[in-house]
Amino acid sequence: MQPPRYPRDMTGHGPNPPDPAWPGGARVAVQFVINYEEGGENNILHGDPASEAFLSDIAGAQPWPGQRHWNMESIYEYGARAGFWRLHRLFTGAGIPVTVYGVATALARSPLQVEAMQNAGWEIASHGLKWVEHRDMPEDEERAAITDAIRLHTEVTGTRPRGWYTGRCSMNTLRLVAEEGGFDYVSDTYDDDLPYWRAVGARDQLVIPYTLEANDMRFATAPGYVTGDQFFTYLRDAFDVLRAEGHEGRPAMMTVGLHCRLAGRPGKLSGVQRFIDHIRQFDDVWCPRRIDIAHHWAAHHPPAPRAPRPSAMDRDTFVARFGGVFEHSPWVAERAYELELGPAHDSAAGLHSALARAFRAASQDARRAVLRAHPDLAGKLASAKRLTAESTGEQASAGLDALTDAERARFTELNTAYTARHGFPFIIAVRDHDKASILAAFERRLANDTATEFAEACTQVERIARLRLEEML
């Protein structure tokens, strides 16, 4: 039986994210998205069972099964008739290109707006076939909807979309879109401040995370924004933090999500206007389309060659690879394999956590056996060249393979006394030390009680394992 595996990635880029090397040395990339959904929302005219109820100025709206919701329809129509053009004037006037998340059926019903998007040089990414929930769609149905969205998008715009964002997605969406194979990026995640590559089968799919917080949708959700000033304040504060972090060596990306029927309203637009005025004060800001980010990331941070992932290995491979990390004790790797491994364990830190858990959970006798499996420092096994390759390299790193006769005699004396007193050899992570500090620790620890030394030796065994993993991975 396959042991438990946890698919979520809680590590990402980790504590030291890569430098994106944004063009012009920009410290932050600010990317604006306009969601064009008007005409693609739930509506019985579109073959849907009920009216739309999501993201409008009608508080607490509910679907109307089998009926047209005239007020809801008119709010969406405002986005197409007035809001879009207000946003279009704002961004073309500021000279900032945007990415449009275009619902294919909405684009098909708005040829004038599509022409304006294209004339402005905006990217039109796919926002799915219809602006409806995908969560309950069977895989085959959702796969067909993705195919139909690409077909219709291509008919309406003249080119297939290179970016994808569903929004109301299912747990299968990102995988299905990646499997389609023709997208430079997918944005159905909210999990990072930088793009990253995700392995989907044999394909490395670029993911450019989106946002639900620097997003005007919060004018239509609770808790949310009421005034344009609140929206501006949040955007400004997010930008200022990211820009400061960029100057500290961690440039990142900020996405601002907008909707024609929301930010296209005058009072709400004021917050976007003020934010644009704020960021234009600085010359270290890049305002690209998402496709520009995708091309830049692929050029500067292409996917790394795939290495076997510990969490995806079969048992025999895992134990063969990591069974020697704890000296002559493959059972530690065997027990670690049974834990809930996942992407978080595919690094030295993560795999060490799993192995250390298995070691710590073992009986005292089992852990003592691991201690006894370790060789004496500069002892008989070293002289006879019978150490493991790992131990040989470790002892050599501290100069223990080149002792004087007097030093060798002293190590032998200490080894004998320590083992006689505690019942296991003296263990220390020699890569953290030199010969002098090892001898000093040896002499200091010899006088400790056995319980103290047992705990210290176990700590040192875990440290040795961590250093070995860092070298291996």
For the stretch 60-95, pLDDT in tens is 788 889 999 888 888 999 999 999 999 999 999 999
Instruction: Give the C-alpha separation, 266 to 270, whole Å.
Output: 6
The 3-class SS string of 5-65 reads: ECCCCCCCCCCCCCCCCCHHHCCEEEEEEEEECCCCECCHHHCCCECCCCCCCCCCCCCCE
Residue with tokens 């959970």: 361
384 pLDDT tier (thresholds 50, 70, 90): very low
Cα distance between residue 42 and residue 29, in whole Å: 34
- Those residues whose C-beta lies under 8 Å from the C-beta of residue 70, and which sit 6 or more positions away, are none
Tokens, residue 5: 């595996």
Enter the DSSP assignment of 218.
Answer: G
Does the pLDDT value for residue 394 go beyond 90? no
pLDDT band for 380, please (50, 70, 90 cuts): low
For residue 325, pLDDT over 90 is answered with yes
Spatial distance between the Cα atoms of 55 and 372, rounded to a whole number of angstroms: 65
Q: Does the structure show a pLDDT above 60 at 258?
A: yes
Q: Please report, for residues 9, 62, 207, 446, the alpha-carbon distance to residue 171 in angstroms, rounded to integers and kept in the order given.
A: 15, 24, 15, 57
Q: Is the pTM of this model over 0.95?
A: no
Q: Please identify which of the residues 328, 374, 422, 433 carries the catalytic annotation.
A: 374
Residue 94 CB coordination number (10 Å): 16
Q: 119: which strand partners?
A: none
- Distance between CA 417 and CA 426 in Å, rounded? 10
Short-list 181, 178, 169, 216, CA closest to 196 = 178
Residue whose C-alpha is closest to residue 100's, from 122, 77, 131: 122
Neighbours of 101 (CB within 10 A): 30
Report the chain's mean pLDDT, rounded to a whole number: 92
For residues 37-41, average pLDDT: 90
Q: Do 416 and 410 contact (CB within 8 A), yes or no?
A: no
Write the secondary structure of 377-408 as one string of H (helix), E (strand) and C (coil): CCCHHHHCCCCCHHHHHHHHHCCCCCCCHHHH
Question: 377 pLDDT exceeds 90?
Answer: no
What domains, with CATH codes, occur in the chain? 23-300 (3.20.20.370), 310-472 (1.10.3330.10)
> Above 80 in pLDDT, residue 198?
yes
314 phi/psi in degrees, rounded to 5? -80, 170
Question: What confidence score (pLDDT) does residue 107 get?
Answer: 98
Instruction: Give the phi and the psi of residue 326 in degrees, each rounded to 5.
Output: -95, 120
Q: 386 pLDDT exceeds 70? A: no
Per-residue pLDDT band for 203 (boundaries 50, 70, 90) equals very high
pLDDT of residue 307: 85
pLDDT in tens, 342-363: 999 999 999 999 999 999 999 9
Residue 387: per-residue pLDDT:
58
105, burial (CB in 10 Å: exposed 0-12, middle 13-18, buried 19+): buried
Instruction: Dump pLDDT digits (tens) for 114-167.
Output: 999 999 999 999 999 998 889 999 999 999 999 999 999 999 999 999 999 999
424 compared with 380, residue with greater pLDDT: 424
pLDDT confidence tier of residue 54, bands split at 50, 70 and 90? confident
Active-site residue, 374 included: yes
* pLDDT over 90 at 376, yes or no: no
Ramachandran bin of 42, using left for φ above 0, alpha for ψ from -120 to 50, beta for the remaining angles? beta
Say what the pLDDT of residue 435 is: 83
Region 165-190 average pLDDT: 95
pLDDT at 73: 86
Answer yes or no: is pLDDT of 180 > 60: yes
Q: Which residue has the higher pLDDT, 344 or 53?
A: 344
Cα–Cα distances in angstroms (integers) from residue 267 to residues 229, 234, 274, 439, 444, in the given order: 9, 16, 12, 73, 72
